[in-house]
Amino acid sequence: MIPLRVAAVALLCPVLFATTGCALLGEAVGTFSFSMSSESMLPTVEKGARLTVRRAVGGYVPRPGDVVVFTPADWTGITPDAGHVSRVIGVPGSTVVCCDSQGRLEVNGKALDEPYLALPPASHVPFSVLVPAGRLWMMSDNRHVALDSRAHRGDPGEGTVAVSDVDGQVSLPVR
């Protein structure tokens, strides 16, 4: 008869190896997992969803619409080193304004089509921002609850996030 501890270890080893092996493989190909801890990206990403994120390395250039994980060094009142998930709205040199007569964001004078929003309008908080070089303007899809760039306008960087603070781009499926 096999002692209970030996049997338990024998049963758990394949599970532990598979989990560790998958994590190591992810690191080797430049991805990591991230758990969505809030409702800020509803309906695109559900609270509790496990996301696969492509690590931002080697000249990653964010594009408008990218959903990214970032750790904003300049934002105050947040947990240090905690990752956040939002959508890139403004890239360096762009002007983001809220809102036009239909409640839509304007980027560089053009209305932004945002079918992923939880509820219109694009923002209840009016703003106009010229995104500085090396910075991004971030907004989440559930704008009525999200604490994104708009909530950090009084912080250093005036709510923008350094491109270097982007940890990675979320892989689909997200809307």
Instruction: Considering only the C-alpha atoms of the chain, give the largest distance between any 2 of them, rounded to a whole number of Å.
Output: 77
pLDDT of residue 29: 53
Better pLDDT: 20 or 55: 55
pLDDT of residue 5: 42
Main-chain dihedrals φ then ψ at residue 110, nearest 5 degrees: -115, 135
What's at 32, amino acid-wise? F
Does 59 have pLDDT greater than 90? no
Residue 14 has pLDDT above 60, yes or no: no
Average pLDDT, the chain: 85
Question: What would the pLDDT profile of 85-116 be if each residue is shown by its tens digit?
Answer: 999 999 999 999 999 999 999 999 999 999 99
pLDDT of residue 87: 97
Q: Which of 137, 126, 138, 131 is nearest to 101 (CA)?
A: 126
Mean pLDDT of 14-43: 66
Mean pLDDT, residues 19-25 taken together: 42
Helix (H) or strand (E) holding 100: none
- From CA 169, how far away is CA 172, in angstroms rounded? 9
Average pLDDT over residues 4-25: 40
Q: Is the pLDDT of residue 160 over 50?
A: yes
Neighbours of 41 (CB within 10 A): 27
Q: How confident is the model at residue 60 (pLDDT cuts 50, 70, 90)?
A: confident
Q: How confident is the model at residue 4 (pLDDT cuts 50, 70, 90)?
A: very low
pLDDT at position 2 over 90: no
Long-range contacts of 97-100 (CB under 8 A, 24+ apart): 97/127, 97/128, 97/129, 98/122, 98/123, 98/125, 98/126, 98/127, 98/128, 99/123, 99/126
